[in-house]
Amino acid sequence: MPELPEVEIAARNIRAWAEGKRIVRVETDPRAVRIFRPGDRAAFARALSGARLARVDRRGKHLLVTLEDRRGRPVGLWSHLGMTGKWVLREGADPAPAHARVRLWLDDGRALHYLDPRLFGRQRVVPRADFAALPEVAALGPDPVHDGIDPGLLAGRLGATRRAVKVALLDQSILAGVGNIHASESLFAARIDPRRRGGDLSLPEVRVLARAIAASLRRGIEMQEGPEIAYVEEPGAPNPFRVYARERERCPRCREAEIRRIVQAQRSTFFCPRCQGTPVARGRARRA
Ligand SMILES: [Zn+2]
C-alpha cells in the first residue's frame, strides 16, 4: 500500500514527465466510476482537457497537482493512490497497461496512466486548486519530509491519546504519510513495543522514534526511486523490510525471538517481542 515514499516518488515522476505539458485529451474507465466520487467521469475529463500541468506537490499520502485551464485559471487535481494505485508514463503507441483508470494524453504524444486494480484510489477536480478546502487535506498533521518531525510536538500529540502508539502513528492528523509498513518498521528500529499507549512514551523515547520514522521514510524513498513504484503486497515483489510481513521469521537484530504479528485497529502490526519488550516498571517510574 502506498505510504509517503511511494507518493513522493509519484510526485517526482509526474513532475519530471509532465510539468509544463498540456493535457490534450482525457480518457476514463467506465468501470472506475467510484474513484471519481463525489464528482463524475465526464466532469473530470472536462475540467482537465486542455489544461497545462503547472506544478506537483505532495502532502502526506496526497498528490496535489496544480494545472492551468485554457484561460490560465488554476484548477487542481487531488490524487490519492488508495491501496493499489500508481501513475505511469507510456509512449502514445504503447498498449494501455492493465487496470488503467485514467489516461491523460500529453501534448508530447505520451500519456500518463493512472492504474488501480482494486479501485480504492481517488481522483478529484479541485476548483481553483484550493486544496486546503478539501477536508482530507485540511485534517493532515505535519509532513515528516516537508516539515520534519518536531519531537516535542509529536510527544504532545502522542501524549494526548490513549491509543496504542502504533495505532496513533497511523492517524494522519498526528503525522501525515506514515502507514502500516513504516509504523511497524520505525517502532522496531526505536525498540518500542507497538502496544504501549502513545501517552506513556517518554520524551527521549519519542526523540528516538522521530528519528526512526524519518530514517524509515527516507530509506523508503531511496528504495522506490525509479519510473515505477512497486508494492510489497504485489505477487512476486521482494520484501525489503525488517519486520513488516515477516511473521515467524527470526528477528534480524537479536536473532533470538521470532517476529510476531498482532492485529491493532484491524491492521497487522509486526514486531520483535524481545527487542521491543515493554519496560513496564521504568515506564511507570517516568510518569511518576
Ligand atoms: Zn529482536
Model pLDDT for residues 226-276, shown as the tens digit of each residue = 888 889 988 888 899 999 999 999 999 999 999 999 999 999 999 999 999
CATH 1.10.8.50 fits 151-287, yes or no: yes
Q: What Å distances lie between residue 207 and 88, 137, 263, CA to CA?
A: 37, 26, 26
Residue 264 dihedral angles phi and psi, to the nearest 5°: -125, 125
Instruction: Give me the count of residues in the chain.
Output: 288
255 CA to middle of ligand 1, Å? 6
CA distances from 271 to 45, 46, 247, 248 (A): 45, 48, 8, 10
Q: How far apart are CA 160 and CA 174, in angstroms?
A: 10
Q: Where in the chain is the domain with CATH 3.20.190.10?
A: 4-138
- C-alpha 197: how far from its chain's center? 24
Q: In the chain, which residues fall in CATH 1.10.8.50?
A: 151-287
Q: What is the pLDDT of residue 235?
A: 86
Q: Which residues are catalytic?
A: 2-3, 61, 267
Query: Which ranges of the chain have pLDDT less than 50?
Result: 281-288
The confidence score (pLDDT) of residue 278 equals: 66
- pLDDT for 227 equals 85
- Grid cell, residue 136, equals 482530507
Omega of the bond leading into 74 within 30 degrees of 0 (cis): no
Expressed in angstroms and rounded, the spacing between residue 28 Cα and the centre of ligand 1 is 48
Task: Give me the architecture of the 4-138 domain, per CATH.
Answer: Alpha-Beta Barrel (3.20)
